[in-house]
Amino acid sequence: MRSFIYEIRDRAGIHARPAGIVAKEAKKYGAEITFFHGEKKADAKKLTELMAMGIKCGDKLTVQMEGTDEEAACSAMEEVLKEYL
């Protein structure tokens, strides 16, 4: 299992466009990729779950990957979040 913490920098927080990009990237990997924020959690491969988290600018997410390609998934998620959120 791999994980990291990321602070959202986008002023709008997680909204449709970046959530769609995150979900599309996450679907490339066999590893389970889960976002945690407080009591909420979301499967990163599901756009609606990401949107339902209500994450705002300045919020911190814990991103957890578990599976055979978790190393690659971790690197990809870090890059996508840095670029779009």
Show the domains of the chain with their CATH numbers.
Answer: 2-84 (3.30.1340.10)
> What's residue 56's pLDDT?
95
pLDDT of residue 5: 98
Q: Which residues of the chain have pLDDT under 70?
A: none
With beta carbons less than 8 A apart as the criterion, state whether 66 and 1 touch: yes
pLDDT at 25: 97
pLDDT score at 74: 97
**Active-site residue numbers?**
15
- Say how far apart CA 48 and CA 71 lie, in whole Å: 25
Longest Cα separation, the chain? 34
